[in-house]
Each structure stands twice: as structure tokens, then as C-alpha cells.
Chain A
């Protein structure tokens, strides 16, 4: 009698324990699963980049290579002109981001702080351009760039994508929240618009500046279609296009070398991401909640 009572009490306790901790255990299990699913392809890439051919062609595969083959990175670097790809990507990304920030700030400043008849209509013209991404007009834009003699050149890669619609929108949203009294006061002190922009508006806009810059950085670094179309010389390829070129050359047998090359492309962005994830997310969600 006493024993059975003990048992039921223990069972009830177990049940209440489960009721108490069960959902939490389930949630942690799900969290682990999600983390695993999203992490494993990246791990797989890193692991394969250190495998020799024998290890790549083993089943079941090894999660961690027994003898990390660092020389894959050297081989990848020599299999295609990756130094040149880096240079091209760095130049086009840096200038592209700079142009985006400059043009975006100037345009947004004009729309918020300068008078112009029917400027709202003009702003609509700007936003409507979001419907015409370069993917849609790649053919006529290619013809324009060819006409300008810009094929296989940095201007050809950079200039057609240098207009800023979404970034301008984000800047404008932010500028609208700035305290107008400060700006008015500075105006009365005799400050010109460029001074206002430099001395007041920009210092008060650092977060949005960083955010728009980072989103532009990610987009330009990863850009594939446009640089693919306007270049055909190997020394003018950017990193993602050069990576696809390497894949074409090596075929899908040299996975170790190809994965090492893939790391060349993604590592810089992953480092930026680890450092600035918060700002990137801030920009994307700002577009969503205010859009």
C-alpha cells in the first residue's frame, strides 16, 4: 500500500516535472536542430576545403579531415587569378558603396530640407525605379555600356548600378526625424546647406549611414549578374564571377579546391557580418516597418 502510494507520488512528480521542463526541453531541441541545419552547410564548406581528393571521395564522409590539407588554398589561389578578382571586387565595391552613400545622402537631404515645386512627385519617380532593377533591363543596359566603350572596365561594372532608390528612402525617413529647430537655428547663424549637411545632419545620422553602407557593401560584394554580363576578360572578373569561372574550369571533381575558393569569396563578408550584424538587421527591418 505504502509502496504503491510512493510510486504514484513519484509518477505524479515525474509528470509535473515533465510539464514544467518538457516545453523548455522541446524548445531547446528545436533551437539546436535549427542551428544545426543552418550551420552545417557552412561547416561542410570549411571542412571540405581542407580535404584531399581521397577524403572527398569517401562514403560515409568524414566530418573533420584527418590531415587538414591547407595547400588547397594555395592551389585555389593559383588556379585562377584570385588576387586580381579581389582587387576588382574591392575597387567596385568601395566606389559603389561610396557613390551610394554620397548620392543617397544628397538626394534625401534635398527632398527633406530644400524647397522645390512638386518634389513629392519627383520622389515618386525615384521610388518607382525600384520596379526596374538591372535584371529587368540587362539587355538595353548592356548595349548602352557597350556604346560607351565601358565593357571590361570599372565604370561599366559600377556606374549603371550607382543610382540609389532604397537607400535614399531610408535616409529620407531618418532625416525627417531630425529636430528642425537645430537646423533652423544654424540657418539663422548663416550656415549654408553643405555646412548643415556636414556639421549637423551627418553626425546625427551615423547609425543609418552605417546601415545603408553595410547593405550596399553586401549587395555590391555579392553582385553576380551585372558584372558577368559586362565583362568577359578574366582579369576584369569580380570574385563571385571568378568563382563560377573556376568551377567551370575544374569541374565538379576538385571539391577541396573549389570549397577553398568559395571561402575566399564568403570569408570577408562573414567577418563584416559578425562585427555588424545588428546594423544590417536594423536597416532591413526599418524598411519593413516603415515601408
Chain B
């Protein structure tokens, strides 16, 4: 464009460029309009709502400043919510990484039938969370459920999973991992296949053992993959809703109430728009922090390597 202007562009060129600009706007318009109305605007509106008290019915909203945040962070119930969110996200994160890597290493071996098992492991990822939750609610039935059979093989009795404040969260985590481990596994699998085989050949010549090769080649070479899986797992698990909604509804006694369920409950069951909005902002800030960490680390890696 600059070049055109310097040469004293012919009017037809200027017109063409202007037409292309307009076309650009026309092409991105639907997408950006939707983003504006249903992503960016609600964020601003939510920031405002979080500073008010409102029952979602009355015509006026009372401005209360930061009171919603103050109330939330001083209430033991909300501490429990944050703790639950950390428990769920942490367990899912560790589980996804370990399980994903182990599955990927196994499914990377040259074994007959590995493609079938790959398919089976990945299949739960595409299924409805609500449906998966129901299947597992039945499996966790303490008297007639499959889990009781499996635990029985090891001589262990079944807890009353979904009724127990101790076992409800592990149950939800198990279901989430069963559904999503296949995702980590296929991403790890792709990562494994990107490691140059020469590295392993050279290590073998140097007499490295299997463990040493894993420790000094596989793990470091996979670190970008691990990082990617960690970030996506955190972001997805913070939003995990359907499994909890169907299996436990946040209970028993708040034992599985995570931030997202708290937000839903405050907004759509208790009609406390201010508190729900404040929880939504906390959720957003979490997403923002994770994304910024990701951008920062990826950029540093690009700069220094």
C-alpha cells in the first residue's frame, strides 16, 4: 500500500484497495459481531453486575461496590468452593498427564490391535458428558453397580460414592478422567511421533537404558506437549459442568460444588445476579491468568531456543 502511494497510485488501484478493505470487513463482520455481542459485551456487563445486588426480576439494581466480592471471599462456603475447584482441577491435571502419557507410550508400541484400543480409549471423549455421567452413576451404585464388582475382586467394599462427602469428588474425577484421558493420550501420541528416532538410536549406541532414554530424551522432548495438555486441561476442567450437574448437582452438602456450579446455582437457582456475576469474574480472571502464563512461557521459549 505504501509503495502504491509513493508512485502516485492510479485511482483504480486506490479503489481496488478500498474495495478489498470493505470486503475484509464484510467477511469478518458476522463473526466479530457475534463476538462483540456474546463474548466481549457480556464480560463488561458482568463486571458491572458484579458490583450490584439484584434478584433478576425487580427493575432496579442496587449498586453495592465490591461488597459481593467481600462477602464471597469471607464466606466459608465459598472457601470450600475454591478448595473444591482446586481439588478437582489439580487431580484432573495430574491424572490427565500421567494417564495420558502412560496410555500414549503403550499405544505407541507396535502391537496388534493397538488401533482398536486407540479408538476405544478416545471414544469417551466425543460422548455427551450428561450421558457419560448417567452411565457412571449406575456403575457407582453401591449395591448393584459394576464398581462394587471390581472392588470386590480386590476384597474391598464399595463406598456409597455419590452420597458420601468424601467419595463424591473422587467419583466425579474418575468419570472426568475416563472421559478425557483419551484426549491427552492422542496429543501425547502425536508428540511422541514427532521425536526424531535418531535421538534414540544415538542413545542406544551410547548404551543408555530404557529408563535413561525415557528420562533424558522422551520427557524433555515432550515438554511442549505436556505444557499444552496442562493448559488445555486446566481451562477445560475449570469449565466442567455437565458431569457434576447430572451426577451430584454440587452435592452432597457442597462436596462437589466447583466455581462453575456455584455460579450456576447463585444465578439460576438462588437468583442472586450480583454474586453470580462476581463468581463469573473470578472464573474469567482465572482463565486470563492461565492464558497469560501460557503466552509468556511460549514467547520465552520462542525467544531463547
Find A131's partner among B136, B229, B284 (CB 8 Å cutoff). B284
The reply to whether A138 and B126 form a contact with Cβ atoms under 8 Å apart is no
Closest Cβ of chain B to A157, distance in Å, is 12
B275-294 interface (Cβ within 8 A of A): 276-277, 280, 283-284, 287-288, 291
Please tell me if A135 contacts chain B, counting CB pairs below 8 Å: yes
Please tell me if B141 contacts chain A, counting CB pairs below 8 Å: yes
Return 21 A-B CB contacts under 8 Å, by A number.
A35-B120, A39-B120, A41-B135, A44-B146, A102-B30, A114-B21, A133-B239, A137-B39, A141-B42, A143-B45, A163-B34, A163-B39, A222-B126, A222-B127, A224-B130, A224-B242, A240-B242, A243-B130, A269-B126, A288-B228, A289-B194
Question: What B residues does A221 contact at CB under 8 A?
Answer: 128
How many chain B residues sit at the interface, stated as a range, is 35 or more
Closest Cβ of chain B to A258, distance in Å, is 6
Known pairs A224-B129, A224-B130; A34 contacts B103 (CB<8 A): yes
A59-75 interface (Cβ within 8 A of B): 59-61
Top 5 A-B pairs ranked by shortest CB distance?
Answer: A140-B42, A163-B34, A110-B27, A137-B42, A224-B242
Question: What B residues does A129 contact at CB under 8 A?
Answer: 35, 39-40
The reply to whether A240 and B128 form a contact with Cβ atoms under 8 Å apart is yes
Q: Of all chain B residues, which has the CB nearest A226?
A: B241
Find B128's partner among A28, A59, A266, A280 (CB 8 Å cutoff). A266
Question: Interface residues of B: mostly helix, strand, loop or mixed?
Answer: helix
Please tell me if B73 contacts chain A, counting CB pairs below 8 Å: no
The stretch from B76-84, B89-97, B106-114, B164-172 touching chain A is: B106-114
The reply to whether B117 and A31 form a contact with Cβ atoms under 8 Å apart is yes
Q: Give Cα A228 to B242, complex, Å.
A: 10
Find B34's partner among A40, A132, A162 (CB 8 Å cutoff). A162
The reply to whether B127 and A269 form a contact with Cβ atoms under 8 Å apart is yes
B251-304 interface (Cβ within 8 A of A): 260, 263-264, 267-268, 273, 276-277, 280, 283-284, 287-288, 291
Question: What A residues does B183 contact at CB under 8 A?
Answer: 284
Most buried by A among B27, B137, B141: B27
Please tell me if A259 contacts chain B, counting CB pairs below 8 Å: yes
The stretch from A3-11, A14-22, A115-123, A201-209 touching chain B is: A115-123
| Interface 1/0 per residue, A195-234 and B, CB below 8 Å | 0000000000000000000000010011011001100000
Closest Cβ of chain B to A156, distance in Å, is 11
Instruction: List B residues at the A interface (Cβ < 8 Å).
Output: 1, 17, 20-21, 23-25, 27-28, 30-32, 34-35, 37-43, 45-46, 49, 56, 103, 106-107, 109, 111, 113-114, 116-117, 119-124, 126-132, 134-139, 141, 143-144, 146, 148-149, 152, 178, 182-183, 186-187, 190-191, 194, 225, 228-229, 232, 239, 241-242, 245-246, 260, 263-264, 267-268, 273, 276-277, 280, 283-284, 287-288, 291
Q: Of all chain A residues, which has the CB nearest B286?
A: A136
The reply to whether B45 and A44 form a contact with Cβ atoms under 8 Å apart is no
Known pairs A137-B43, A265-B128; A110 contacts B187 (CB<8 A): no
Question: What B residues does A168 contact at CB under 8 A?
Answer: 31
The reply to whether A31 and B111 form a contact with Cβ atoms under 8 Å apart is yes
Known pairs A139-B46, A159-B38, A255-B138; A38 contacts B121 (CB<8 A): yes
The reply to whether A285 and B27 form a contact with Cβ atoms under 8 Å apart is no
Known pairs A61-B149, A139-B276, A240-B130; A285 contacts B190 (CB<8 A): yes
Q: Of all chain B residues, which has the CB nearest A102?
A: B30
Instruction: List A residues at the B interface (Cβ < 8 Å).
Output: 24, 27-28, 30-31, 34-35, 37-42, 44-45, 48, 56-61, 102-104, 106-107, 109-111, 114-117, 119, 122, 125-126, 129-144, 159-165, 168, 193, 218, 221-222, 224-225, 228-229, 239-241, 243-244, 247, 252, 255, 258-259, 262, 265-266, 269-270, 272-274, 277, 280-281, 284-285, 288-289, 291
Closest Cβ of chain A to B291, distance in Å, is 5
Known pairs A122-B28, A131-B284; A110 contacts B23 (CB<8 A): yes
The reply to whether B127 and A165 form a contact with Cβ atoms under 8 Å apart is no
Find A270's partner among B32, B127, B135 (CB 8 Å cutoff). B127
Q: Of all chain B residues, which has the CB nearest A132?
A: B39
Known pairs A126-B35, A144-B42; A115 contacts B21 (CB<8 A): yes
Known pairs A61-B144, A106-B30; A135 contacts B283 (CB<8 A): yes
The reply to whether A229 and B268 form a contact with Cβ atoms under 8 Å apart is yes
Q: Give Cα A236 to B283, complex, Å.
A: 29
Find B228's partner among A103, A134, A162, A291 (CB 8 Å cutoff). A291
Question: What A residues does B263 contact at CB under 8 A?
Answer: 138-139
Most buried by B among A34, A37, A119, A142: A34
Find A132's partner among B20, B30, B49, B284 (CB 8 Å cutoff). B284
The reply to whether B122 and A277 form a contact with Cβ atoms under 8 Å apart is yes
